[in-house]
């Protein structure tokens, strides 16, 4: 395959983010799988987050886009993560309840999430387009979700 040029800022190549609450790499921070948590992943992400089909995940990279003002639920990973913003902005608050720090990240800026540090990302008023990448293959990535930013399951 040759080199392909594309812009993450175009509307080409985006699909609604596939979600699988039963994925074994999605864990609830209090223990157990996200599938057993009191939250609804599909309802939380539906219409709020998109995935780029143009970015090759074989390079440990995802291209993502969030709707305006969408809060990606608080979570942390077992690996360090690098996030680079291409368009729009997001506000990130990290630490257990955001007490360790916060900042806004805009186009051309990046943020590094250290493994084990929970954070909540909220897209800006125009949304945000970014890539995320890890230092190891994504098969080694675990995501621990916390109880902030979710649509909860109806009982």
Buried b (16+ CB within 10 A) or exposed e, 114-132: eeebbbbbbbbeebbbbbb
CA 62/CA 110 separation, integer angstroms: 14
pLDDT at 87: 97
Which domains does the chain possess? 15-145 (2.60.120.10)
Judge whether 101 and 48 are in contact, CB under 8 Å.
no
pLDDT at 58: 77
pLDDT tens-digit map of 90-128: 999 998 766 789 999 999 999 999 999 999 999 999 999
What is the DSSP secondary structure assignment for residue 17, as one 8-state letter? P
CA 89/CA 30 separation, integer angstroms: 30
Enter the pTM of the model: 0.91
């Amino acid at each position: 395959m040759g080199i392909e040029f594309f812009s993450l800022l175009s509307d080409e190549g985006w699909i609604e983010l596939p979600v699988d609450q039963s994925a074994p790499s999605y864990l609830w921070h209090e223990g157990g799988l996200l599938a057993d948590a009191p939250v609804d992943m599909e309802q939380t992400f539906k219409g709020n987050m998109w995935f780029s089909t143009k970015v090759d995940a074989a390079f440990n990279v995802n291209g993502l886009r969030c709707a305006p003002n969408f809060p990606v639920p608080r979570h942390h990973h077992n690996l360090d993560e690098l996030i680079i913003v291409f368009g729009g902005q997001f506000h990130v608050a990290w630490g257990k309840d955001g007490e360790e720090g916060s900042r806004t990240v805009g186009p051309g800026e990046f943020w590094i999430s250290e493994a084990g540090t929970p954070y909540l990302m909220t897209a800006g008023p125009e949304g945000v387009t970014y890539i995320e990448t890890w230092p190891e293959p994504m098969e080694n990535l675990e995501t621990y979700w916390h109880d902030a930013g979710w649509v909860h399951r109806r009982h």
